[in-house]
Amino acid sequence: MKTKWNAHLYDQKHDFVSKFGESLVEVLAPQENEWILDVGCGTGDLAQEIASHGAFVQGTDASQDMIRAAQQKYPTIEFSTIEAAAMHFTNQFDAVFSNAALHWMKQQNKVIQNIYNALKPNGRFVAEMGGHGNIASIVGAIKESMSTLNYAYNEDYFPWYFPTIEEYETILETVGFTIETITLYERPTTLSGEDGLRNWLKMFSHNILQDLIDFEKEQVYTKCEEILKPAYYQNDEWIADYCRLRFVATKI
């Protein structure tokens, strides 16, 4: 099942995705007149940040809703609806950038090969994604909630890929990248407000809960809140147990 994205909810309740990505733009260090591809650009905020440095940016995302929102917000940047596994760029970009998107892509080998092909020789690939252990407590709460409510959990519906450093090093190097840096780190992330966890679940758990009707989904949300509140609700805010894999690789 293809993930459905609500661009308005993404911008209103999940702007932390782009805000955390700003430090990744600093790692990218875009230069004037460079051509940079933003893979999984969402609603375009980081593409705009990259473009503000004088680079030419092309943003791609599998979600037409996201791309439509990006085009409305930043009409001077080129955005296109395309899945990363279906890209056909060849030696066109000085750098490829991706923030919080790669872990949604199941065809990793194909995606990374396409990114490698898109880069010019000596081009750099700067990215951050969910890594091993990411949102483990939330996933555990979803499974426990569904079990308690007698709803079937289907492992095939799990939409993410959260690799270890070793797993991703193998993928990158097999394609031909030279890894400059790679790190897996914990990044506890605030989900704003009393409804923070519920909003997160509404945004990101659609695949897992796709067989449930709205009332049943609400039951799961409520049960997840009960399970996670003792450890992950502090000072009137929810904390999500994010673990991120960040790397810089070069096409030689």
- Higher per-residue pLDDT: 4 or 97: 97
Mean pLDDT across the stretch 77-90? 98
Mean pLDDT across the stretch 10-18? 51
Please give the domain boundaries of the chain with CATH numbers for all domains: 7-251 (3.40.50.150)
Residue 213 pLDDT greater than 70, yes or no? yes
- Higher per-residue pLDDT: 7 or 156: 156
- Higher per-residue pLDDT: 10 or 118: 118
pTM: 0.91
**Over the stretch 131-188, which tens digit does the pLDDT of each residue have?**
999 999 999 999 999 999 999 999 999 999 999 999 999 999 999 999 999 999 999 9
Q: Of 36, 43, 35, which Cα lies nearest the Cα of 61?
A: 43
- Per-residue confidence band for 14, with pLDDT thresholds at 50, 70 and 90: very low
**Over the stretch 193-208, which tens digit does the pLDDT of each residue have?**
899 999 999 999 999 9
Q: What was the pLDDT predicted at 75?
A: 98
- Higher per-residue pLDDT: 142 or 22: 142
